[in-house]
Structure 1
Amino acid sequence: MELRHLQHFVAVAEDQHFTRAAERLMVSQSGLSASIRALERELQTPLFVRTTRRVTLTEAGRALLGEAERILAGVRAAHDAVAAVQGVLRGTLSLGAEQCIGGVDVAGLLAAFRRCHPDVEIRLRQAGSEAIADEVAAGRLDLAFAIRTRRDSDQLRSVPLSSEPMTVLCHPSHPLALAGAVTPEELGGEAFVDFHPDWGPRRITDEVFAAACVRRTVALEVNDVHSLLDLVGEGLGVAVVPRHFAHKRAALTALPVKGTGETVYETVAMLPPPQATSPAARALMELLERPDQQG
């Protein structure tokens, strides 16, 4: 099994189209098709269902995709490791981050990394914590800054960065604004502004209300922090968010949440196992540990 066959397979799986994948790889479409056929012959099974508009993975193709991504990530890590031994950090740093994450200044950290390692290409992907955890575990990201969403495993480990309580944000004219502090039970009848279910703050809020056996209605679902703050600012709902979000919109009223036990918003760095962690990811973590880089 040749590495180029796996590279071609992953590209077609990502693009779901032979022509687009060939253009991205800068190879001929006929050459790409021949590469995929050779891989299918070797594995003695079809990897794609081909139609006139797109291609989709067969069950065997889905099984191969995760392994192929891990193999290619390992090869990249091997190249980077050799370069690091030679005294030059090269290659690519693929980083995932949830938006407005606590405990780390992502932009400042990447700027410091660029100054120290100008030959490393930086790629940043923003998404919900659950999605980027999957990306790290699959080898598609070198590391990620996110909310702890699962226990450590043989494919994913977490390095704690910070923790903070959750806070209710509401319009200053809202009846709750004078309450001083609220419980999940007191919020049960409210309309909520919240993130998509795979975002860290949403998952934690869901856990808080489930533990209190309180149903809630998410009337407005967003995928960015500023939209959430705008909607709360217009009085369209309340939001339960990490405490540091309150500093982004001083005009809103922030209320502590009582009766949540030990439920907190915990930020972590998600990495693959130590032996699979790339030199670039290790260098970024070393920078993060410096006092001047603490978020």
Structure 2
Amino acid sequence: MELRHLAAFIAVAEEGGFTRAGERLHLVQSAVSAAVRNLERELGVTLFERTTHMVELTDTGRLLLAEARRTLSAAEAMRGVVDQLSGGLRGTVRLGVMQSQRPPWVSVPRLLAGFREEYPGVNVELRCGASAEHARDLREGRLDLAFVALPAGAARTLTLTPIASQVMRLVCPREHWAAGRDDVELHELADEAFADSPVNWGSRIVVDRAFEAAGVERKVHYEVGDMSSIVDFVHYGLAVAVLPPSVVDEAADVCLVSISEHAPVFATSIAAPADRELTPAALALFEAIRTTAAAERRDRALLPSAPGGGHPDHVHPGRAHEPAGSSGRPVDSRSHQV
């Protein structure tokens, strides 16, 4: 059994066709088809149902896809160990990032600049998407690591390492009835029109769960694919929002109001699959992410996540801070499996 045959099988399954799989693997379609046929012949099974319009996995193909991913991942890990022994780490790491990810969370450009300087032989492929999509792609082997903003219960079979968190706050126009108040309760917002992220985004999941915990059914009138753009909807009086304070520019003509009970916490974690070992290249990137996150907490005095994903204390209005006793050292970011 050849690894290139497994790679072709995985690519066809993930891309939904031989042509797109060939583009991904930089091979002509006939070479991909031949690789899959050879694998089917060797295993004595049919992996795909082929028609003139579509290619679908058979039941056997679905069962073998997970094993093929694990086998290819193990081979890549072995190759990484050999590269380390020969004096240079090499390989490719597929990293999922969030669309609204920017300082004061982990700056991806800053992360990659430092990582490339230390490991020039490692290529990092970025894939932008929602947290729920990243969780699925990690489970199915399409990603090695990903930044996610998910409650622990929403990330089954993944290992989450907390990076940073902020208590979210109500963002409202200056003319809004809540503007100028010290805090509001979620039940007071039941009749408000909200702008929020799409339903599968981590921030949306966190806020939805907070309202559910408070027994409040809210109305999301506008779904926006970038958290900083949500502020514009608030500025023009179209809606209110619940956001991390860091995404609200200081020059924005809006008000930030604390939430007194059931305040949602936007926590960013680095996620990895719990059922397989990281390759040496992925492990090196994981450590670089932790180092970069610690440096950015020192730079911006962010409130880090509590070990094990616990919620931090409430943030004083208008001011993010580190917990009492923090000396700028990296937080205890012990991973927890969920």
Class of the TM-score when normalised by the shorter of the 2 chains: 0.7 to 0.9
What is the one-letter code of the residue matched to 1:266?
Answer: A
Cα deviation per residue 1:146-199 (whole Å; 9 max; x = unaligned)? Answer: 224435999521112222211111222222223332111011111111111221
Residue ranges of structure 1 left out of the alignment (5+ in a row): none
Distance 1:207 1:24, change over 3 A: closer
Distance 1:56 1:231, change over 3 A: farther
2:237 to 227, 235, 238: 235
Q: Percent same amino acid among aligned pairs? A: 41
Distance 1:85 1:203 in 2: 44
Cα deviation per residue 1:65-106 (whole Å; 9 max; x = unaligned)? Answer: 333223222222221222123221211122112233464222
Q: What is the match of residue 267 of structure 1?
A: 268
Q: What is the match of residue 35 of structure 1?
A: 35
Q: What is the match of residue 99 of structure 2?
A: 99
Q: CA deviation at 1:136?
A: 2.4
Relative to structure 2, which stretch is displaced further, 219-228 or 59-68?
59-68
Distance 1:205 1:235 in 2: 20
Distance 1:143 1:260, change over 3 A: same
Q: What is the match of residue 186 of structure 1?
A: 188
Distance 1:249 1:71, change over 3 A: farther
Report if aligned partners of 1:146, 1:267 keep a CA contact under 8 Å in 2.
yes
Residue correspondences, number: 294
Relative to structure 2, which stretch is displaced further, 251-260 or 137-146?
137-146
Q: What is the match of residue 78 of structure 1?
A: 78
Q: What is the match of residue 131 of structure 1?
A: 133
Distance 2:250 2:135 in 1: 26
Q: What is the match of residue 114 of structure 1?
A: 116
Distance 1:142 1:243 in 2: 30
Q: CA deviation at 1:55?
A: 1.5
Distance 1:14 1:202 in 2: 27
Distance 2:234 2:155 in 1: 38
Q: What is the match of residue 12 of structure 1?
A: 12
What is the one-letter code of the residue matched to 2:147?
Answer: F
Report if aligned partners of 1:222, 1:228 keep a CA contact under 8 Å in 2.
yes
Q: What is the match of residue 59 of structure 1?
A: 59
What is the one-letter code of the residue matched to 1:84?
Answer: Q
Q: CA deviation at 1:203?
A: 0.6
Distance 2:155 2:265 in 1: 22
Residue ranges of structure 2 left out of the alignment (5+ in a row): 301-338
What secondary structure, in the 3-state scheme, does the structure 1 residue paired with 2:152 have? coil
Report if aligned partners of 1:109, 1:293 keep a CA contact under 8 Å in 2.
no
Q: What is the match of residue 50 of structure 1?
A: 50
What secondary structure, in the 3-state scheme, does the structure 2 residue paired with 1:192 have? strand
What is the one-letter code of the residue matched to 1:75?
Answer: A
Alignment map for 1:202-281 (pairs within 5 Å): 202-247=204-249, 250-260=252-262, 263-273=264-274, 276-281=277-282
Q: What is the match of residue 292 of structure 1?
A: 295
Q: CA deviation at 1:111?
A: 1.4
What is the one-letter code of the residue matched to 2:126?
Answer: L
Report if aligned partners of 2:99, 2:128 keep a CA contact under 8 Å in 1.
yes
Relative to structure 2, which stretch is displaced further, 10-19 or 280-289?
280-289
Report if aligned partners of 1:160, 1:268 keep a CA contact under 8 Å in 2.
yes
Distance 2:194 2:13 in 1: 38
Q: What is the match of residue 170 of structure 1?
A: 172
Distance 1:274 1:109, change over 3 A: farther
Cα deviation per residue 1:223-280 (whole Å; 9 max; x = unaligned)? Answer: 222332222222211111223222466322111111116x422221112359712222
Q: What is the match of residue 284 of structure 2?
A: 283
Q: CA deviation at 1:209?
A: 0.6
* Structure that is richer in helix per residue: 1
What secondary structure, in the 3-state scheme, does the structure 1 residue paired with 2:106 have? coil
What secondary structure, in the 3-state scheme, does the structure 1 residue paired with 2:68 have? helix
